Structure 1
Amino acid sequence: MAVMTCGSMVEALPAAYERLHAYGPEFGGDEEGNHGMTNHGPMAVEVMVRRGLDIDVDGWLDRYVRRLAGLPGTSRAIQPDDWGAALGQARRLPDWAAYFRHELTGRPWSEVLGQWWPRLLPGIVAGSTHGVIRVGHAVRTLRGTAGAPARQTLDELAHGLAFWAARYRRLAGTVAPAGTRTPGQVLSAVTRIEDQSGFIAHRLDRLERSPGWTANLRALEPVASAEEVPARLESLVDSAARAYLGLGHGSPVLLVHAATAPNAVRHVLPVLPTEQWLPSFAAAWAAVVAVVATYAPPRPAPCAEIVRRHPELTREDALQRAAEHGDEHVLKFADTAVESYDRTGDPELLAATRYVGELIDRP
């Protein structure tokens, strides 16, 4: 299974993006648009195309778009000198999309991203971390594009930034790592909130009031310099993907994002100014801990037994089985876990790609 070339990505993705941009980033939910499901279409097709997966993208979209809701019209323009007032205003999402489309028409995309990344970073849990994840997938497309990017690809970055801004949700009580533990050691011992009922917004409210929240964040060994951030982010992604084996059964869909959110940050990192690297790592760590603390089960599954069920799995097998499964979360998690496997050679990561397919129903 060959990874698509830059030219192939340029040819295949714009049409899919164009089709998906008629729809909003969420569907379902209440009359305010809260507590709905996230539109994973753009993120999933980016994985399909970049990985060159044996899957009919148009057919997948035919099925997927039937569940989506149309993107509402704009109400009033976001003002450059008063953008802070519109952060976290879900009803302003179309206005945010229009704002970012305008910004990306007149300025280089990396410049716009570099300006807005630190503004949005404190709200990294926006939309259950889907804001940063969608931006990360768009940036991967842009980084893989030779020459001027297609309008639809720039529009995809605009939609990702707009979703992040409209669903901006700052976590109170965040502190910098100051401990001695590795990501894997901390994630295996994260203090869960006692009441894990309800939507993620309700759980995050409880998390901020819980005594273990800051202690969990502080337990990680700090990053000494910006130069260490890329390797430390990779270690965090690897640990979170591996942890899914033990934790995934607690909330198969939500716990996928403990790995995919920091991986999105990792792929954006190279286009950010170096001074933004340390805050990016701290935000990624907070997002991972927040997801685990609010959704992980009290007792882990028997990881060794799960791994034994999937012997001699290859990376090609893992990606192909994800394509055959067809669920958007399975596709995104397999993409992340295979990247981790390519770095580490750890077969547990490939087993995790099969396990997520067992836990999440086929569409």
Structure 2
Amino acid sequence: MTLDEALHRLRDTGPERTGWLSNHAPMAVEALVRHGRADRVHRWIDGYRDQLEETPRGISPIPDDEWRDPLGDPVRTGDWIAFFDRALRAEPWRDVLATWWPRLLPGIAAGATHGVIRVGHAVRALLEQETPERVAELGQGLAYWAARWQPLAPPGRGRYPAGDPRAALDAVPRVPDQRSGIRNRLAQLAGLPGWPETTGAIPGTGPAPDRLRAIVAAAVLRHRRFGYGSPVMLVHATTAPAAVLRSLPALPAELAGPSLAAAWAASAAVTAAYSPAVPEPAGADLVASAADVFDQATVSGDAHAIKFADAAIEAWQVTADPALLAAAGHATTLITAPE
């Protein structure tokens, strides 16, 4: 199958490139295949492959019972890749995921949330079909998450109305200094007035999957109004909770609540870190089909545009709200606009 061929081509590439930039190829090709664009996958890789770096070498094997110290140490990325390769050869992938999901979940900000996003794409592919290439890709995603593991400031007791995710995202306070990268911005959350209350008030009602879907949809729609401030980074306010949502069917039921809380915290953190102070003036949106929206993202070639359109279309498939498709099309335009 095309996805397995693509993952095989990417098997020796590292999770990052040029320092902190994430390798988006496995995530983007999974989305392309998911939306019927398998014929574009190998050409897309051809255009992206030269940007990638080789898999980093390990320093020392990580023993099964000594995993806490190297957690969050990017220097040990190669060791984490070897660790999860070994774990997935020894146990079924669902068992490995169930063991490590609660360990990694508190560090959901890992790699600007790309750790959990990569795992979410891998799990979605595995739920469709289990192959050696997809199992190996799950290991790569888990390893990246472990190596860049980064906790957020702890939540408090919510004071904001928890029923409306769109209102909850609008109530998220902005970090005061938005001049630096994501690590500096997330570090400001601990002292941000209102942050504990914001993350403590998880929005939505009903079962965890329904609440996650509502958070994803709210983040998509918010990008339409605020994405101009940082089009690429604000994508992750959508794609991080979408990744958690995709992973829930493969996880034990008791992890649904903690997963919802972490997903909301991640979406709120990205919103706090990158939202501009005022929304973009409302403009007319073209009415487009899901196929047209995804074609626009595919033609752009941009991995973030592809992944955002993927998440927006998933949300649209549940709600049929055309504003979700309009937001995805607008996001592609913003992301690919000349600077």
TM-score category, normalised to shorter length: over 0.9
Q: Which residue of 1 aligns with 2:265?
A: 286
Q: Secondary structure at the match of 2:336?
A: coil
- CA offset at residue 218 of structure 1? 3.0
- CA offset at residue 56 of structure 1? 2.2
Contact 2:28–2:306 (8 Å) recurs in 1: yes
Partner deviation per Cα, 1:68-122 (whole Å, 9 max, x = no partner): 1111212111111110011001011111111111111111100100000000000
Runs (4 or more) in structure 1 with deviation over 6 Å come to none
Verify: 1:18 aligned to 2:4, yes or no: no
Verify: 1:174 aligned to 2:143, yes or no: no
Q: Which stretches in structure 1 are left out of the alignment for 5+ residues?
A: 1-10, 30-35
For residue 162 of structure 1, the aligned residue among 139, 143, 148 is 143
Verify: 1:128 aligned to 2:103, yes or no: no
Contact 1:179–1:220 (8 Å) recurs in 2: no
Q: Which residue of 2 aligns with 1:137?
A: 121
AA in 2 matched with 1:151:
P
Contact 1:53–1:319 (8 Å) recurs in 2: no
Contact 2:117–2:240 (8 Å) recurs in 1: yes
For residue 219 of structure 2, the aligned residue among 240, 247, 256 is 240
Q: What are the residue-to-residue correspondences of 1:1-363 with 2, within 5 Å?
A: 11-29=1-19, 36-53=20-37, 55-145=39-129, 149-175=130-156, 177=158, 179-181=160-162, 182-221=164-203, 228-303=207-282, 305=283, 308-310=284-286, 312-361=287-336
Q: Note closer, same or farther for the CA distance 1:222–1:350 as it changes in structure 2 (3 Å cut).
A: closer
Instruction: Quote the Cα distance in structure 1 between the aligned partners of 2:5 and 2:267.
Output: 33
Contact 2:114–2:145 (8 Å) recurs in 1: yes
AA in 1 matched with 2:169:
L
Instruction: Quote the Cα distance in structure 2 between the aligned partners of 1:112 and 1:220.
Output: 28
Instruction: Quote the Cα distance in structure 1 between the aligned partners of 2:202 and 2:75.
Output: 37
Instruction: Quote the Cα distance in structure 2 between the aligned partners of 1:98 and 1:362.
Output: 39
- CA offset at residue 176 of structure 1? 5.7
TM-score, length of structure 1 as denominator length = 0.89
* Number of aligned positions between the proteins: 337
AA in 2 matched with 1:318:
V
Contact 2:216–2:239 (8 Å) recurs in 1: yes
Instruction: Quote the Cα distance in structure 2 between the aligned partners of 1:178 and 1:140.
Output: 35
Instruction: Quote the Cα distance in structure 2 between the aligned partners of 1:175 and 1:15.
Output: 46
AA in 2 matched with 1:99:
F
Contact 2:172–2:198 (8 Å) recurs in 1: yes
Instruction: Quote the Cα distance in structure 2 between the aligned partners of 1:302 and 1:362.
Output: 17
AA in 1 matched with 2:108:
I
- CA offset at residue 187 of structure 1? 0.9
The root-mean-square deviation of aligned C-alpha atoms, in Å, is 1.6
AA in 1 matched with 2:192:
S
AA in 2 matched with 1:172:
A
Q: Secondary structure at the match of 2:173?
A: coil
Q: Note closer, same or farther for the CA distance 1:68–1:362 as it changes in structure 2 (3 Å cut).
A: farther
Q: Which residue of 2 aligns with 1:4?
A: none
Greater mean alpha carbon deviation, residues 61-70 or residues 50-59? 50-59
Contact 1:178–1:220 (8 Å) recurs in 2: no
Q: Which stretches in structure 2 are left out of the alignment for 5+ residues?
A: none
- CA offset at residue 220 of structure 1? 3.9
- CA offset at residue 58 of structure 1? 1.3
AA in 1 matched with 2:140:
H
Contact 1:245–1:352 (8 Å) recurs in 2: yes
Q: Secondary structure at the match of 2:223?
A: helix
Instruction: Quote the Cα distance in structure 2 between the aligned partners of 1:175 and 1:81.
Output: 31
Partner deviation per Cα, 1:224-258 (whole Å, 9 max, x = no partner): xxx71111111111111111101111110010010
Instruction: Quote the Cα distance in structure 2 between the aligned partners of 1:41 and 1:320.
Output: 18
TM-score, length of structure 2 as denominator length = 0.95
Instruction: Quote the Cα distance in structure 2 between the aligned partners of 1:129 and 1:38.
Output: 10
